[in-house]
Amino acid sequence: MSASHPISSKPQRLQSLDILRGITVAVMILVNNNGSGDDAYRTLMHSRWNGCTLADVVFPTFLFIVGTSLVFSFRARLSRGESRHSLMAHVVKRAAIIFLLGLLINTFPFFQMDMLRIYGVLQRIALCFLCASTLTLYTRVRTSAILFVAILCGYWALLRLVPVPGFGVPCHEIPFLDPVRNIVAWTDRHLLPARHLYRQSFYDPEGLLSTVSAIATTLLGVLTGHWLLSSKDLSIKARGLCLAAFACLASACLWSPWFPFNKRLWTSSYVLLTGGIALFVLAALYFLVDVRRLRSTWAWPAIVFGSNALTAYIFSELFASTLQSIHTMANGQSVNLSQAVFLFLAAHIHNPAIASLGYSVLFVLVCFLPVWVLYRKRIFLKV
């Protein structure tokens, strides 16, 4: 990563997007660190299989923001005279660094390479960023829109119509979206040994085929970025975001009985649902902050988080791994530091769900401190 300082010639940023980025990374850290998975509020936990909770909305929202942001970034850099080839070289470099940072997170702190998980959150961000950037730089907006629809329909056809080797055709020999007997999980198992998958399981929630569907989420962000950079009136842009949100949410609900919401498989209905939610929240922020010019002092913590979003996430993951790797004694038993802090809170807060939420909030506050220091020094770490 390199440190950059803002200069006077820097193009004006879309503040609503910065606020949404900060809110997203803060909630991402919140839901990933709840102290006790058994006691946390249900909406702060990922769905076990089909379904959608608040925790399930966070990651696709971040990918949506990645897509929107890269359009703004490319437009500004192209207007300064940079070539598409130089931008593409930077994209490849950045994607590689983000992917490697994801591998670092997966191996930290013991660096057991024989158990290294290849897939991961940052790895998916890197691949989606790379694909969406390539399309944005070298194709028309219409191509991105067509590919968005093609991925959604093609992914449904893949999971619904393609036989799973050794098991059969979905909805005939095997149930549709069976947790083990689906083409996505089968592909993960045959590409990599189980020890290199998420928790040495039979599939990986950030696996290869589901990443293709996640690219559609990023492309929705790309299309949103083009819309926001159009020459239309600000109020028309806000209404357009609302209409797009309604269209996505309605399509998701109509499709879900035949293609359920599923984060682990990143189903097409899930893309539309989470994309619609992201569009709706962005539309509200855009109307309040960029159209009505409402003072955004209330959003200061989100702006701070958003200014170094990737740094905040990486710090949270390394900090969580550190807490889980250090053991101490609590209540006469050996526990890691994360468990010890939760047990301390649970001893003073008798409602386990509130204690779990208290741990999550405390964890977010700790992660806020380093990015707040960077923000005050006007240091923004980029790859």
Give, in degrees to the nearest 5, the angle at Cα 35 between 343 and 302: 130
At 7, the pLDDT band (50, 70, 90 cuts) reads: very low
Radius of gyration of the chain (CA): 21
The answer on 286 and 137 residing in a single domain is: yes
Please give the average per-residue pLDDT across 361-380, as a whole number.
95
Whole-model pTM: value is 0.93
At 214, the pLDDT band (50, 70, 90 cuts) reads: very high
Q: Which stretches of the chain are DSSP H helices?
A: 15-32, 54-79, 84-107, 121-138, 141-161, 183-191, 208-228, 234-255, 268-285, 300-307, 309-325, 337-348, 352-376
At 1, the pLDDT band (50, 70, 90 cuts) reads: low
* Amino acid letter, residue 377: K
Strands 327-330 and 380-382: unpaired
The answer on 283 and 167 residing in a single domain is: yes
Cα–Cα dist 183/258, whole Å: 17
208: three-class secondary structure by DSSP? helix
The answer on 269 and 130 residing in a single domain is: yes
The answer on 229 and 101 residing in a single domain is: yes
* Single residue among 294, 319, 343 that ends a domain in this structure: 294
* Single residue among 245, 266, 294 that ends a domain in this structure: 294
Token pair for 345: 């809170």
The answer on 220 and 340 residing in a single domain is: no
Q: Which of 206-215, 277-286, 295-304, 318-327 bottoms out in mean pLDDT, i.e. has the lowest? A: 295-304
Instruction: Provide the domain count of the chain.
Output: 2
pLDDT number for residue 12: 55
Please give the average per-residue pLDDT across 283-306, as a whole number.
90
Domain range for 134 is: 50-294
Examine the pLDDT at 328 and tell me if it is beyond 90: no
pLDDT number for residue 133: 97
* Amino acid letter, residue 321: S
The answer on 236 and 371 residing in a single domain is: no
Examine the pLDDT at 8 and tell me if it is beyond 50: no
pLDDT number for residue 198: 84
The answer on 368 and 288 residing in a single domain is: no
The answer on 367 and 272 residing in a single domain is: no
The answer on 65 and 133 residing in a single domain is: yes
Examine the pLDDT at 54 and tell me if it is beyond 50: yes
